[in-house]
Amino acid sequence: MGRVLTSYGNIGYVEAGRGDSAPIIFLHGVGSDKSVWQPQLDHFGRERRAIAFDYPGYGESDFAPEAGRDEFAEAILAAMDELGVGQAHVCGLSLGGVVAIAMYHAAPGRCTSLIIADSFAVHPNGQVIHDRSVAASKAMTMRALAEARTGMLLGSEASNALRREVIETMAAIDPDAYRLGAAAVWLADQCSRAAAIDVPTLILCGIEDGITPPALSTELHEIIHNSRLEWLEGSGHLANLEQPERFNSAIDRFLSETETRV
């Protein structure tokens, strides 16, 4: 793990691997940090550079007051600059998917492809979820919030060990950063941005996802021209942790086809 200095302060990151293939970037959700991508870093780092970042205020990154999805996107692009990453496949889950779309909007030439997991262009209940999340983060500790929320995040096959891991990760988040992240994800309306995406795009969704239900991934698939949509059996909202082998295999197939076409 390390930090790289950008115009948004220090941005935390962890990376694995090297190779001639295009790097892959991983972007976490509102209730987590870069550490949740370890199963993907271990897997994709075998043949390419794989990097997971913290947003401003999360993990090892400096807090950036008033930062939103666009500032998160700009901070990641700046961190990529400092690490010498020109272009990359960009994979984001939940808030990470929202930030991935914002990254493409800001710098389409930097995105070799997009992988958007358990996310959306606009959430029909976004304002309600945002308001409830902010109120809860002020009324209780982050640990209590994590304990209350984890059951909704995970699907039926999640182990008790994974539940404890998710709670510990969420409990460590700065409440102020969490509130910025909540606004960045739940108040997003990026339908026009998504419609402008013109790189290969894979959309993944756990079929048991109750936070960003499958219908929202179907809608995103319909908005993004020539995107591919795949369902992940036995998974709720945190598909990369719940079903890492299925998640990684879907991305492997996508990258193989995408890079073969190039």
pTM of the model: 0.97
* Structure confidence at residue 57 (pLDDT): 97
Element (H, E) at 6: strand 2-6
Burial class (CB in 10 A: 0-12, 13-18, 19+), 259: middle
Q: Say if residue 19's pLDDT is above 90.
A: no
* Structure confidence at residue 142 (pLDDT): 98
* Structure confidence at residue 170 (pLDDT): 97
Per residue in 246-262, pLDDT (tens digit) is: 999 999 999 999 998 75
* Structure confidence at residue 15 (pLDDT): 97
**Domain ranges for the chain:** 2-261
Q: Which two tokens stand for residue 44?
A: 């994709």
Q: Which two tokens stand for residue 5?
A: 């200095």
Per residue in 77-120, pLDDT (tens digit) is: 999 999 999 999 999 999 999 999 999 999 999 999 999 999 99
- CATH number for the domain whose boundaries are 2-261: 3.40.50.1820
- Share of residues in the chain with pLDDT > 90 (%): 97
Which residues touch 57 (CB under 8 Å, ≥6 apart)? 63, 64, 67, 174, 176, 177, 180, 181
Q: Where are the alpha helices (DSSP H) in 26-93?
A: 38-44, 69-82
DSSP 3-state assignment of 172?
Answer: coil
Element (H, E) at 197: none
Per residue in 108-166, pLDDT (tens digit) is: 999 999 999 999 999 999 999 999 999 999 999 999 999 999 999 999 999 999 999 99
Distance, CA of 173 to CA of 192 (rounded, Å):
31
The confidence band for 39, taking pLDDT boundaries of 50, 70 and 90, is very high
Per residue in 61-71, pLDDT (tens digit) is: 999 999 999 99
Calculate the CA 140 to chain-centre distance.
25
Per residue in 193-221, pLDDT (tens digit) is: 999 999 999 999 999 999 999 999 999 99
* Structure confidence at residue 262 (pLDDT): 54
Residues in the chain: 262
Pairing of strands 9-16, 2-6: antiparallel
Nearest 5°: phi and psi at 204? -115, 145
* Structure confidence at residue 202 (pLDDT): 98
DSSP 3-state assignment of 232?
Answer: strand
> Are the C-beta atoms of residues 89 and 55 closer than 8 Å to each other?
no
